[in-house]
Amino acid sequence: MLFTKNFFNYYMEILINIIKKIENILLSLDNILDQEHKNLLKNTTIKELKTIFKKKEHYFNLFLQLNKERISLEKKINIFSPYENHYKLKKYWTLIVKKCLYLKKINLQNKILLNKKFYLNQYFLELFSPHQKCITYNINGNLEI
């Protein structure tokens, strides 16, 4: 597809704006994951964790939607990440990649903490159960026997 310089600049600005929005979403996810990490380190209720999970889900959905728009726009103007020939895009993209790697690390730590909490709760309930029944939490955070 052949574009004039004006169209190309127009699409580049849209692409830059999308990448900025992605960066902002990742910053929000960073805050949410830090909050989740702090809550997992202390005693928190399932309700508090549920609200954090819903926020995470919302921001991940926004991220996926913007990423689809970014990919579609890249195909239109034939520019692809890591944007080596475009300084402004490359700068934002480098920040996004670093933030994604950091978020992946924090998310893995949170997953480990969450699994440890559930394992300890399950172990404690089975240890002190008079009939050694299997006790688990249902999706609402209530005990099931």
List pLDDT tens digits, range 44-101. Answer: 788 888 999 999 999 999 999 999 999 999 898 888 888 888 888 889 999 999 999 9
Place of tokens 């704006």: 17
CA 105 to chain centre: 11
d(CA 44, CA 46): 7
Higher pLDDT, 37 or 116: 37
Place of tokens 């926004």: 62
Alpha helices per DSSP H over the chain: 5-41, 46-77, 87-127
143 bridge partner residues: 137
Cβ neighbours around 13 below 10 Å, total: 10
For the question of whether the overall pTM of this predicted structure is more than 0.95, the answer is: no
Rg (CA), the chain: 22
pLDDT tens-digit series, residues 108-137:
999 888 888 776 666 565 656 555 566 666
Phi, then psi, of 79 in degrees rounded to 5: -130, 135
